Structure 1
């Protein structure tokens, strides 16, 4: 369910690098318009309406609280990486963002028809796969999309197109492994897959610290390809487990909460990585060693998700993965 949203950031560096190099950086934003319009038309024409929609009033107060809180959080995380930002401004933005988001959470828990149904987090499999576990590994794994092209350009002296053409192979690995995920989950179940894959993915993130400018291109490509495969295993597993105990009537509210939390985790991931990189660089230009330290930190953050996945049981999500039942080959 999350393949498109996860593949986009992987393809982004290649497309963005080409647009920046050969057209204009402004087209990084303009190109989203035709894609969005096409997606809206396809959704309207292809998605069936099987039930009569139930009309509810739009949660405008919840929309304002969540929107303002998220915007302030993004501004605050961005200010952390800015060299000329004053400390009291950063503290004010982040403090106000946390306060407004806390108020938004309180409001959503008490509202009759909230914009975000936070009560869904009481479902254990959703909470583990997307908050206590999935939130941490999303922060660690998503940072690679930001840090790796930056390291190739600032540390290794590559152009935006060259960096994008290398990181793009992670998308190929992500797509290919998806064909095997139903069988993998059916054979091993969510718990065993996540307990095995999380340390491997964490090591692969930390392993970028060992990358050298003199390394042969085929080794770099192979490593990024393997990373893309294991990251896809992680996100395919948590994405499918997250909705395994969601009732049909809760799916619309689940979708809204899922993608808001996903975007929040990605924003925190990029903002935290940028802030730590600026801190390591001491306000100057980041060196290759700064990137190496940061990749190790991101690997440790990813590894921390393992503590949450250890709380899963072999039966969690079995009715989705088919674990314990023979898989049809037809």
Structure 2
């Protein structure tokens, strides 16, 4: 999947250079915040995209829970994601986009790695809190990441930027599932138990997510500040 994505990207670059009016112009990527946002989307979602795939699978295959219980265990993540929407602006106002994205991505990586500590002998209730916090963290990350990606685009390239972002989100989630499946398959080659294989996969994907946080170090401390300022002005005028 990754190889196919890279090949398609290279083919499009060749096409865009030759075509006088490509669907998505290459100068769009000269906007620094846009390029960082797109790269961050791909890099960070390699880890976050694994959770909806690996967690229910580990609960069923490794822990022996039913499909219904395994599916319902993802509910805290959805609830946390919804509740976090009301706090994202305050977080960004306090820390800024750069520090928020670096910090929240590290937190997500640690949470994903922490699932390697779960075992069938422990109460399933102990999974609810980290899954809830993970949902809040992922929602904060996605909102901040998406807004900073489009922050500095103008009217001429905003449409193309939205299209690239939408496609990138779908592809990066698929990449995350593909990579986590490949990592799980790699650990299955070792003579270990099923639960240990899932633990090793979660630990690996958590490390990958933490490393991806350094992508957002390419942002500047003041990037995206005008978005918060404009929002505050609109509130005051209303």
Paired with 1:150 and 1:122, the residues of 2 have a C-alpha distance of 41
| 8 Å CA contact 2:41, 2:168 repeated in 1 | no
Q: Does the aligned pair in 2 maintain the 1:205–1:298 contact within 8 Å?
A: yes
C-alpha change, 1:196 and 1:119, in structure 2 (3 Å) is same
Gaps of 5+ in 2: none
Structure 1, unpaired ranges of 5+ = 1-72, 78-93
| 2:199 paired with 1:278 | no
Q: 1:306 aligns with which of 207, 210, 213?
A: 213
The equivalent of 1:287 in structure 2 is 194
Aligned to 2:88: 181
2:145 is the alignment partner of 1:234: no
State whether residues 135 and 265 of structure 1, in contact with CA within 8 Å, keep that contact through their aligned partners in structure 2: yes
**Alpha-carbon shift at residue 111 of structure 1 (Å):** 2.5
What TM-score does the superposition give when structure 2 sets the normalisation length? 0.89
**Is residue 2:3 matched to residue 1:117?**
no
Alignment partner, residue 249 of structure 1 = 156
Give the SS at the match of 2:125: helix
Task: Report matched runs for 1:62-81 at 5 Å.
Answer: 73=1
Change (3 A) 1:118 1:286: farther
CA deviations on 1:194-234 (whole Å, 9 max, x unpaired) are: 12212111101111111122222322111111111111111
CA radius of gyration, larger in: 1
SS at match of 2:156: helix
Distance 1:101 1:310, change over 3 A: closer
The question of 1:265 aligning with 2:160 is answered no
Tell me what 2:62 maps to.
155
Q: Is the Cα–Cα contact under 8 Å of residues 46 and 172 in structure 2 kept in the other structure? A: yes
**Larger RCO (CA under 8 A, 6+ residues apart):** 2
SS of residue paired to 2:42: helix
Q: Is the CA contact (8 Å cut-off) linking 1:117 and 1:257 kept in structure 2? A: no
Task: Write the distance in 1 (CA, Å) between the matches of 2:206 and 2:136.
Answer: 16
Count of aligned pairs:
237
Q: 2:107 aligns to what? A: 200
